[in-house]
Amino acid sequence: MAQPLWPRLRELLSSRPVPVPKHPRAVVTGGAGGLGRALCLALARRGAAVLVADRDAAGAAETAAQVDSIGGRGHAAACDVSRPKEVEALLAAADEKIGGVDLLVNNAGVAVAGPVGVVPLADWEWILGINLWGVLYGCHYFLPRFRSQGSGHILNVASAAGLLSAPEMAPYNVTKAAVVSLSETLAAELHGTGIGVSVLCPTFFRTNIMASSRRAQINDDLEGVVENLMDRSRLQADDVARIALEGCDRGLLYVVPMSDGRWAWRLKRMLPERYHRIVPRLLASMRERTARQ
């Protein structure tokens, strides 16, 4: 006889997440700088063993040395996440260098800005290869290990852009929205398996992503708005990293660190049709304010 609906719902809602181990073995992509480095150092403060993966091998080695200096165990690996064989090789590297893996952080990411129809298709392919395929490769290759050991946690780094869809950022928005959707799907697939999934969706904080971004006829004033918001943010990379790991500990699916991101997400859900008329006006106002500064 089928179990009654409400007792089953209570059981599901009351189920407790499996916490990340106290001293986890972690693999972090895009760990050579920015948020990736901040996540590695936050893990080091927990006494973690961290495999720092990045295309920038020298930067990854520098992060690994900093992990060692503050009490963790750091190791570096060169990895281009857009190449599946290199992501697959990270699992063997984790076994060899840190004795396995408890936490996978799919952090590596880039930005492309500009209007749809103006952004070159080559730039779309570039960002999809890193921001989406890189995350998918990580999940694809590491999940069988997590399933076999009955534990593990995946932290996918998306962005509030994946929730809010601001104009003139379509390639970035699309990839981050896909990462949110992938994380939601995994959370449902993995419920009750001992494997956790979290998706990190910050708004603006100081990082080097704009310096490495590709821009197609994007106005300088929009870039000024973004840089102004990064500088003004109360939370910066170290704060975002700490909040992200706390979210993993709590078994949260959505980790949205900044209050502006949470409020904008609420507004979109409450007024979905009006939201997309409000955003262009808000962006125009922000451009005007930035121009006056």
* Pair of tokens at residue 19: 């916490």
172 is catalytic: yes
CA R_g for the chain: 19
In Å, what is the CA distance from 45 to each residue of 201, 240, 282?
A: 23, 15, 39
Q: Phi and psi of 191, rounded to 5°?
A: -60, 130
What is the Cα–Cα distance from 165 to 269, expressed in whole angstroms? 13
In angstroms, rounded to a whole number, what is the distance separating the alpha carbons of residues 101 and 27?
Answer: 7
Q: What share of the chain is helix, strand, coil (3-state, %, to 5)?
A: 55, 15, 30
Q: Is residue 257 within 8 Å of residue 239, measured between CB atoms? A: yes
Q: Which of 137, 141, 172, 254 is catalytic?
A: 172
Task: Name every residue whose Cβ is closer than 8 Å to that of residue 61 and which is 6 or more positions away in sequence.
Answer: 52, 76
* Phi, psi of 128, deg, nearest 5: -65, -40
Non-local (6+) Cβ contacts of 192 within 8 A are 15
Contact 147, 186 (CB under 8 A): no
DSSP state of 4: P
Cα-Cα end-to-end distance for the chain: 68
Residues whose CB falls within 8 Å of the CB of residue 110, separated by 6 or more in sequence, listed in order: 126, 127, 130, 131, 209, 212, 213, 214
- Which residues have a catalytic role annotated? 172
